[in-house]
């Protein structure tokens, strides 16, 4: 890995403005999922280092929150500009440790930076309110204040954006933060810390601790000094974290698993629907929580859709993310490959049919070819579980109410998509889908300006948009007698 700026490659954690090793000296190997080669080692930190990071964040918060919003905004803008200036290096680091194609990694760096820019602006718009008094001598107002020290536990599928989507609103609000990135993708997180340092974000305001998830997680959850925890990852881990946070009653944001339905009605623009399905299904090799997991195609257009979809999928190029023209990289690890294969085998055993799209059927390692299945039904695992990989089951349906029922028949409620032209049907379906986000005639819904988040087992809270900063603020009501 040849970076333009080699000092972005960091193998130590960033605590209180200093680069540090684990107290034990132990280190964890970071592996390139494309070839399983070790590309770096990072510290295996645990309880004591996490406590120090929390303490540093607690001390730093006093002066960070005392800055004006404009002053915090300027630091965030400097951080934003550094991400953009180092887009190429950050993308290469990300592709090396995560596997996604370089073009997607560049896109993620921009997406990650967009949250910092957005919340640098929002920092200046933390408005309170005045309320007409309930008695003649009373003047009532509400102010908003930073919650305090915040913690973030982030996944490997978006190594930069899942950090900035949490850190930017936290810092904008006047909170300080301790981040624990996924062990698969710590290098991007550490490079973000290096850029935060260069941006002049003071020591202790943004800290990154790598290592043992269970002991770091416990400290972050159980410390009374941490007043907010934001997590993106699987639902079972989200539940565990919520239980661990209960004794200290923390404010929480949980962005958890999804099982997105993607519905195409008879009157849809089929070419547009195929285009939308390609991105909703195969972005990041199918490893996003908003990826289409179940595609429902109405019977009148089923055959045409399948033909066009297969043609589009056949053009995808699977390979090493740094190679020109590659559109699907490896999955993150062997467990991810096994999960996709398990869903495939389960479906085939229950009568699904696999449509060939590429000559090679198996590239080995962590690579998996895009898979399309027809003759699928609700008994198959992907009907209820997130596959998190490039497998597209194409369900056939006839009735609108029935497809809405099927789409909602899951514990999850993150993202849903549908394509159609009938306006009243569009309203009816958009309102009936039990999801936090709905894409209508589009397969791309993610943007820093809109509230991202789910309902049911997909989590709590919203990230991005003008609402995202509220997750890091408390309201204080002031009642004044005059």
Interface contacts to ligand NDP, rule CB under 6 A = 153, 155, 157, 182-183, 213-214, 217, 232-234, 237, 240, 255-257, 289, 339, 386, 388
Task: Kindly state the DSSP code that residue 203 receives in the 8-state scheme.
Answer: T
Task: Kindly state the DSSP code that residue 334 receives in the 8-state scheme.
Answer: H
Q: Provide the token pair at 159.
A: 């190594």
Closest to ligand NDP by CB, 305 vs 388, is 388
Q: Which partner from the list ligand NDP, ligand GUA, none does 209 bind, CB cut-off 5 to 8 Å by kind? A: none
- Across 33-95, the runs of DSSP E, i.e. the strands, are 37-43
Chain residues that interact with ligand GUA, rule: CB under 6 A: 157-158, 161-162, 232, 255, 288-290, 446, 452
Shortest approach of ligand NDP to residue 279 CB, angstroms? 16
299 is catalytic: no
Residue tagged active-site, from 49, 97, 117, 255: 255
- For 344, what's the count of Cα atoms within 13 Å in the CB-facing half-sphere? 19
Shortest approach of ligand NDP to residue 282 CB, angstroms? 16
Query: Of all residues in this chain, which one has the CB nearest to ligand NDP in the complex?
Result: 217
Shortest approach of ligand NDP to residue 76 CB, angstroms? 24
Q: Is-contact 165 246, C-beta < 8 A?
A: no
Q: Is-contact 318 347, C-beta < 8 A?
A: no
Long-range (24+ apart) CB contacts under 8 A made by 24-29 are 28/183, 28/210, 28/211
Query: What is the spatial distance between Cα 45 and Cα 213, in angstroms, rounded to a whole number?
Result: 9
Shortest approach of ligand GUA to residue 254 CB, angstroms? 11
Per the document, the length of the chain is 482
Query: What is the spatial distance between Cα 252 and Cα 245, in angstroms, rounded to a whole number?
Result: 8
Query: Of all residues in this chain, which one has the CB nearest to ligand GUA in the complex?
Result: 446
Q: Which partner from the list ligand NDP, ligand GUA, none does 446 bind, CB cut-off 5 to 8 Å by kind? A: ligand GUA
Q: Is-contact 328 417, C-beta < 8 A?
A: no
Closest to ligand GUA by CB, 242 vs 348, is 242
Closest to ligand GUA by CB, 114 vs 374, is 114
Shortest approach of ligand GUA to residue 373 CB, angstroms? 22
Alpha-carbon distances, residue 87 vs 175, 193, 251 (angstroms):
26, 15, 33
Closest to ligand GUA by CB, 87 vs 157, is 157
Q: Which partner from the list ligand NDP, ligand GUA, none does 182 bind, CB cut-off 5 to 8 Å by kind? A: ligand NDP
CA 307 from centroid of its chain's CA atoms: 32
Q: Which partner from the list ligand NDP, ligand GUA, none does 175 bind, CB cut-off 5 to 8 Å by kind? A: none
Closest to ligand NDP by CB, 94 vs 273, is 94
- Active site (catalytic) residues: 255
């Amino acid at each position: 890995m040849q970076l333009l700026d080699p000092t972005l490659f960091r193998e130590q954690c960033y605590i209180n403005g200093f680069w540090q090793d684990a107290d034990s000296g132990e280190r964890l190997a970071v592996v390139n999922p494309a070839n399983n080669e070790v590309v770096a080692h990072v510290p295996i930190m645990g309880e004591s280092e996490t406590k120090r990071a929390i303490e540093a964040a607690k001390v730093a918060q006093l002066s960070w929150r005392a800055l004006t919003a404009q002053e915090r905004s300027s630091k965030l803008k400097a951080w934003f500009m550094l991400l953009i200036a180092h887009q190429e290096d950050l993308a290469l680091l990300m592709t090396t440790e995560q596997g996604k194609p370089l073009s997607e990694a560049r896109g993620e760096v921009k997406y990650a930076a967009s949250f910092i820019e957005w919340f640098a602006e929002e920092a200046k718009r933390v408005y309170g309110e005045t309320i007409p008094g309930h008695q003649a001598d009373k003047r009532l107002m509400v102010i908003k204040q930073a919650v305090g020290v915040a913690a973030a536990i982030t996944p490997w599928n978006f190594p930069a954006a899942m950090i900035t989507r949490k850190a930017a609103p936290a810092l904008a609000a006047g909170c300080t933060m301790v981040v624990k990135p996924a062990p698969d993708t710590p290098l991007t997180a550490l490079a973000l810390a290096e850029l935060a340092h260069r941006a002049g974000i003071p020591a202790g305001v943004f800290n990154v601790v790598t290592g043992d998830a269970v002991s770091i997680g416990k400290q972050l959850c159980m410390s009374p000094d941490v007043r907010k925890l934001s997590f993106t990852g699987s639902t079972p881990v989200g539940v565990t974290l919520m239980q661990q946070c209960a004794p200290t009653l923390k404010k929480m944001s949980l962005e958890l698993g999804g099982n997105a339905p993607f519905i195409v009605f008879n009157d849809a623009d089929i070419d547009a629907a195929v285009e939308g399905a390609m991105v909703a299904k195969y972005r990041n090799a199918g490893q996003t929580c908003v990826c289409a997991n179940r595609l429902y195609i109405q019977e009148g257009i089923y055959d045409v859709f399948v033909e066009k979809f297969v043609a589009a999928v056949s053009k995808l190029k699977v390979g090493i993310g740094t190679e020109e023209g590659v559109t699907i990289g490896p999955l993150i690890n062997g467990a991810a490959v096994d999960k996709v294969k398990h869903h495939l085998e389960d479906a085939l055993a229950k009568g699904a049919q696999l449509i060939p799209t590429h000559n090679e059927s198996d590239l080995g390692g962590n690579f998996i070819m895009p898979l399309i299945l027809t003759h699928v039904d609700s008994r198959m695992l992907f009907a209820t579980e997130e596959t998190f990989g490039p497998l597209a089951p194409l369900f056939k349906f006839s009735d609108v109410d029935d497809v809405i029922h099927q789409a909602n028949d899951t514990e999850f409620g993150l993202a849903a998509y549908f394509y159609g032209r009938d306006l009243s049907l569009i309203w009816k379906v958009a309102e009936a889908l039990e999801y936090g986000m709905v894409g209508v005639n589009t397969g791309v819904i993610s943007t820093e300006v809109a509230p991202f988040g789910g309902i049911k087992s997909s989590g709590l809270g919203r990230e991005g948009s003008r609402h995202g900063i509220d997750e890091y603020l408390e309201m204080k009501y002031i009642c004044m007698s005059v």
